[in-house]
Amino acid sequence: MPIRVLPPEVADKIAAGEVVERPASVVKELIENALDAGARTVRVEIREGGIRQIKVQDDGSGIPAAEVPLAVRRHATSKIATAEDLEAIRTLGFRGEALASIASVSLLTLITRHREEATGTRLVVEGGRVQHQERVGHPAGTTVIVEHLFFNTPARRKFLKTPRTEAGHIHRVVSHYALAYPEVRFTYISDGRVVFQTPGSGRLLDAVAVVMGKEMAAQMIPVGEVEMPWPEAPPNPRVWGYVGDPALHRANRQYITIFLNRRWIQDYKLSQAIVQAYHTFLPVGRYPVAVIHVGLDPRLVDVNVHPTKAEVRFRDPRAVFAAVQKAVRAALVQVHPVREPRAEVHWSQPPGWAERRQSLVEAGQGSQQELTLPVEEEPGPLPVSRDPHPETNPPLTSPSQPRGKLLPLLRVIGQVGATYIVAEGPDGLYLIDQHAAHERVLYEKLMAERARQGQVARQQLLTPVPITVDSELAGIVAEHAAALEASGFEIEVFGKDTYLIRAIPAVLSGQDPTRVVEEVLRGLAEEKDVTGDTLEERLITLICKRAAVKGGQVLSDAEMRALVRELEACETPHTCPHGRPTMLHITAQELAKLFGRL
């Protein structure tokens, strides 16, 4: 065949393939046009997953009658004029190809009236050919109806999934814009049913509550200055939004939503920054929930990487990564990971209970020595003894501010299944996982030692113990010598693949050194790509796991009290270093509810 220029309909169809992959892509483009037109209300209505019909209605500027035919022409746009404009894009669209592309593969009806014109225009395009144009009445704004998508591209049509799946994709798209533009009222209707409607209040949390559910919204932690008016994008990344309480973890990254200058983006690195911010807050292999906005000078990012614009390229990706991680981490560390109940229900107490409880708590101090958990050396100061003038009843009168601590004073009641400690606090019942709790206690202790002395306290072995390891583990010993040393190990090369263990971390004293070292090395072998401080933290986590009291071990009352006391003194008492919860808290209110008292 000779070379020839393709007829415009064919070229359009090819271009359409890039922009319009499925009904959700149509919805995305139409919503973006509505937002670019300054709409305050956007109504999205679909039928049969958008395959039969998509209708997007807005109250934006509308299109002047004279420009309507241009709107559906390829590379016709009102948003940029010169190549320089591409350097700093401030609208969602700019390529001028969405309406043309959509029109080339569907039956498209555009009804619009410009704010300053008296009558509107109705334009019908079928498979890229304008069928007719007429003057009609229409409120200021635009309605676009797209029917019979891909009717003339059977190959594409075949790739469409069931209406349900396509509707699912559309749901995601509308949700993203609702979260990106909380000041816009979004209504989403599928097959005649209102799926959701945002209030358009301008408060991100209101949109989160509608899109993700009230329950989830109630467990979100604000990041940065959330409810500020939407700022001009600054030169340095500004990060704000909401992240889920660590208790809200999910099996995949799907609940991490990131917006750059209000554009939903897919960026593995940035979602990784959020995941990393949850380090030690979440169980391994679990992911947080997050709605994070990044504001950045548009000149510092290229959104013109792909026609769908979900991928962007930052000029300084590391700065953006660091800003996101720092902001999320700061929010998490600041906020108590387990929420105090908001309701004003108090644990009712019999007369004299408070005094009795206080004396029980104090009695607990004296038995510290009976402790047989491997935590003996210099137990930290007890939280009760820190306060020289204990108020008569402090935790009971101010349950949400347990003297600036994250955990109120707890009274140990007993042990369940040789695994959980049952305790009572000023507002309800606490079930504590003894292993997780002990891991947390040891972790903070070792981290503090490392910070204070540059290394974890070690226990010299009376006679060095030889150990032979396979080549993988030998490689680990060599590679991580410094981290091992800082964590309390002294391991010396003795021969090929043979080492002498001279010291182990003091918390592990009494344990079989060979097994300890082997287990720690195996743990390290799984921590690929981790270096520096993070690696040492992981190493310490491994040591704590090994050293902590196990589930299934019967504890004496004194041991339980000592453990709970030390947990109370922790900075982050609610999760173990792997991020699993150390405790369940059943509030007085929840108990009252369960017993039908409320």
Measure the CA–CA gap between 95 and 85, rounded to whole angstroms: 11
Stretch that binds ligand ADP, among 29-37, 124-132, 290-298, 393-401 (CB under 6 A): 29-37
Residue 34 binding: pick among ligand ADP, Mg ion, none (C-beta 5-8 Å cut-off by kind): ligand ADP
Cα 449 to chain centroid, rounded: 31
138 binds ligand ADP (CB under 6 A): no
Is residue 226 within 8 A of residue 204, CB to CB? The reply is yes
Closest CA to 305 of 360, 346, 266, 248: 266
Comparing CB distances to ligand ADP, the nearer of 68 and 457 is: 68
Q: What CA–CA distance (Å, rounded) separates 96 from 534?
A: 47
Residue 61 or 589 having the CB closest to ligand ADP: 61
Q: Does 142 bind ligand ADP (CB under 6 A)?
A: yes
Could you give the maximum distance between any two Cα atoms of the chain, in Å?
100
Residues that bind Mg ion (CB under 5 A): 33, 93, 98
Contact call for residue 20 and ligand ADP (CB under 6 A): no
Q: Which segment (71-79, 364-372, 441-449, 555-563) binds ligand ADP by CB under 6 A?
A: 71-79
Establish if 237 lies at the interface with ligand ADP (CB under 6 A).
no
Nearest distance, CB of residue 70 and ligand ADP, angstroms:
7
Is residue 93 involved in binding ligand ADP (CB under 6 A)?
Answer: yes
- Of residues 76 and 591, the one with the C-beta less far from Mg ion: 76
Verify binding: residue 71, ligand ADP, rule CB under 6 A.
yes
35 touching ligand ADP, by CB under 6 A? no
**Residue 33 lies near ligand ADP (rule: CB under 6 A):** yes
Shortest Å distance, C-beta 16 to ligand ADP: 11
H/E element, 98: helix 98-104
Residue nearest ligand ADP, Cβ-based: 93
Question: Hey, is 144 helix, strand or coil?
Answer: strand
Judged by CB under 6 A, the stretch of 33-41, 475-483, 487-495, 533-541 that binds ligand ADP is: 33-41
Please choose, out of 69-77, 198-206, 303-311, 495-503, the segment that lies near ligand ADP by the rule CB under 6 A.
Answer: 69-77
63 touching ligand ADP, by CB under 6 A: yes
Decide: is 109 part of the binding site for ligand ADP (CB under 6 A). Answer: no
Q: How far apart are CA 129 and CA 468, in angstroms?
A: 78
Structure-block tokens of residue 411: 């009274």
Q: Are 231 and 238 in contact (CB under 8 A)?
A: yes
Kindly provide the residue ranges of all beta strands, DSSP E only, lying in 74-178, ordered along the sequence: 107-113, 120-126, 129-136, 141-147
Distance CA 556, CA 554 (A): 7
**Which residue, 29 or 267, is less far from Mg ion as judged by CB?**
29
442 binds ligand ADP (CB under 6 A): no
Map tokens 């891991």 to a residue: 439
To the nearest whole angstrom, how small is the minimum distance from the Cβ of residue 76 to Mg ion?
11
Work out how close the CB of 39 gets to ligand ADP at its nearest, in angstroms, rounded to a whole number. 7
| Identified binder of ligand ADP from the candidate list 28, 43, 44, 61, rule CB under 6 A | 61
Tokens of 590: 């929840």
Judged by CB under 6 A, which of 96, 298, 380, 390 binds ligand ADP? 96
Q: Considering only residues 15, 16, 26, 37, which one is a binding residue for ligand ADP as defined by CB under 6 A?
A: 37
Q: Does 104 bind ligand ADP (CB under 6 A)?
A: no
Rounded Cα gap, residues 193 and 457, in angstroms: 64
Distance between CA atoms of 564 and 558, rounded to whole angstroms? 10
Residue 34 contacts ligand ADP per CB under 6 A: yes
Q: Binding residues for ligand ADP, how many (CB under 6 A)?
A: 23
Nearest 5°: the CA angle 249, 267, 263 is 100
Nearest-5° Cα angle at 285, 281 to 289: 60
Which of Mg ion, ligand ADP, none lies near 123, with the C-beta cut-off 5 to 8 A by kind?
none
Of ligand ADP, Mg ion, none, which one does residue 37 interact with (CB within 5 to 8 Å by kind)? Answer: ligand ADP
Could you give the residue ranges of the DSSP H alpha helices within 379-531? 383-386, 394-397, 434-453, 471-479, 481-486, 513-525
Q: Closest Cα partner for 68 from 122, 14, 144, 128?
A: 122
Structural contact between residues 324 and 274, judged by C-beta atoms closer than 8 angstroms: yes
Structure tokens at 149: 């998508």
Binding residues for ligand ADP, rule: CB under 6 A, are: 29, 33-34, 37, 58, 60-63, 71, 76-79, 93-100, 142
